[in-house]
Amino acid sequence: MVGEIQMKKHNLTEIQYEEALQTYSENLALEPFQAELVKLQQHIERCKLKMIILFEGRDAAGKGSVIGSVSRYMNPKHYRIVALGRPSEHEKTEWYFQRYIKNFPHGGEIVLFDRSWYNRAMVEPIFGFCSSEEHALFMKHVVPFEASLAEQGTLLVKLYFSVTKEKQAQRFEQRRSDPLRQWKLSEIDLQAQSMWEEFSRTKYNMLQATSNEKAPWHVVRSSDKHKARMETMKLILNQIDYDGKNRALDLASDPKIVFSAADELAIMDKYNNFTRNT
């Protein structure tokens, strides 16, 4: 009865009403973790720590929505979301990492990169935006670059969001048909499905070459956006201890959603017949 009244009041169809209820329920489930993220941010601010979180993955993997959920209740004075576009002609003459370093956090700040310097490991070589020599040079230097960050006290969290080919196609279609999302659909998006295997091989090589003890990759299955949001929050909260941590909150990762780089490589070996380099 209450549901029928609400549907009529807001002029909703039954499907829209059920979707609204589900969204409300999912948002409630995230709030305890978002409250902990606020505590984590306050701890980072008080202790003048620096945290960088990289959000990587294929187009339509859900990176943007996860970033929105992670940062929803954070103090905007002490975090930034960085999503860099194509480099300018001037930036193309600089050291590759330079324009990213310009956006690094100062003490007490968190920076969330919506795509990062790993563009050179994934997107750029596939679409010819860099030469093979530039790609090889990046792969040679990125691990020591990140090791230097860690040694100097920057907390680096690397997240790769893994979506199925079918779910990616579904999300592209939603972008195409929804006037509120059409701006998200790019020419590169339209090529992503046909280049699925090439992206898979590049992902494999990147994880294999750049995941290490000081800067490991965490792979998050993101076909279910709600689970991806929750597991991402858990991953971030598990990076350091912080004041006021809720010990009763379960921060254990879901093994069906979160994978180490080694486990992801093993799965890709099994189902794609990829062979690891030695």
Domain hosting 73: range is 34-272
Q: Considering the domain boundaries, does residue 205 fall inside one?
A: yes
Residue 2 has what pLDDT? 45
50-57 and 154-162 strand pairing: parallel
Q: Per-residue pLDDT for 8 more than 90?
A: no
pLDDT tens digit string along 205-226? 999 999 999 999 999 999 999 9
| Domains held by the chain: number | 1
Percent of the chain topping pLDDT 90: 80
**What is the average per-residue pLDDT within 223-232?**
97
Q: Is 135 among the domain residues?
A: yes
Higher pLDDT, 128 or 192: 128
Q: Is residue 235 part of a domain?
A: yes
Residue 170, in any domain of the structure:
yes
Q: Per-residue pLDDT averaged across 115-130, rounded?
A: 96
Mean pLDDT of the residues in the chain:
91
6/136 Cα distance (integer angstroms):
58
8 A C-beta contact, residue 163 and residue 223: yes
> Which residue bears the tokens 């960088």?
52
* CA 52/CA 149 separation, integer angstroms: 10
- Average pLDDT on 140-167 reads 97
In this prediction, residue 7 carries a pLDDT of 52
pLDDT at 203 over 60: yes
CB burial readout 37-54, b (16+ within 10 A) else e: beebbbbbbeeebbbbbb
Residue 1: inside a domain, yes or no? Answer: no
Q: Specify if 6 maps to a domain.
A: no
- What is the signed CA dihedral for 193, 96, 110, 204, rounded to 10 degrees? 40
The CATH number that applies at residue 137 is 3.40.50.300
In a domain, 108, yes or no: yes
Stated pTM of the model: 0.91
Q: What is the mean pLDDT of residues 260-270?
A: 96
Q: What is the pLDDT of residue 278?
A: 27
- Tell me what the mean pLDDT of segment 198-209 comes to: 96
pLDDT at 16: 75
